Structure 1
Amino acid sequence: MEARLDLAGSPVAGKALKHFIAANTALAGSTLPRATRELVEIRASQINGCGFCVDMHTKDAAHAGESALRLNLVAAWREATVFTEAERAALELAEQGTRIADAGGGVTDEAWAKAAEHYDEDQLAALVSLIALINAFNRLNVIVRRPAGDYRPGQFD
Structure 2
Amino acid sequence: MNARLNLLDNQVAAKFGRHIVSAGRVLEDSTLPASTQELVKLRASQINGCGFCVDMHAKDAAHAGETSTRLGLVAAWREATVFTDAERAALELAEQGTRIADAAGGVTDEAWANAAKYYDEDQLAALVCVIALINAFNRGNVMVQQPAGDYQPGQFG
One fold, TM greater than 0.5? yes
- Work out the percentage of aligned pairs sharing the same amino acid: 74
- TM-score relative to the length of structure 1: 0.98
Do structure 1's residue 65 and structure 2's residue 76 form an aligned pair? Answer: no
Distance 1:114 1:77 in 2: 16
Distance 2:94 2:56 in 1: 18
Do structure 1's residue 153 and structure 2's residue 153 form an aligned pair? Answer: yes
**Counterpart in the other structure of 1:52:** 52
- TM-score relative to the length of structure 2: 0.98
Do structure 1's residue 98 and structure 2's residue 98 form an aligned pair? Answer: yes
Secondary structure of 1:105's partner? coil
Q: CA deviation at 1:8?
A: 2.5
Distance 1:55 1:7 in 2: 17
**Counterpart in the other structure of 1:85:** 85
**Counterpart in the other structure of 1:110:** 110
**Counterpart in the other structure of 2:24:** 24
Q: State the AA in 1 paired with 2:133.
A: L
Offset from partner CA, 1:48-86 (integer Å, 9 cap, x none): 000000000000000100000000000000000000000
Q: CA deviation at 1:22?
A: 0.1
Secondary structure of 1:8's partner? coil
Offset from partner CA, 1:61-116 (integer Å, 9 cap, x none): 00100000000000000000000000000000000000000122200000000000
Q: CA deviation at 1:133?
A: 0.2
Structure 1 runs of 4+ off > 6 angstroms? none
Number of residue pairs the alignment of both structures matches: 157
Q: CA deviation at 1:20?
A: 0.3
Q: State the AA in 2 paired with 1:2.
A: N
Unaligned runs of 5+ in 1: none
Unaligned runs of 5+ in 2: none
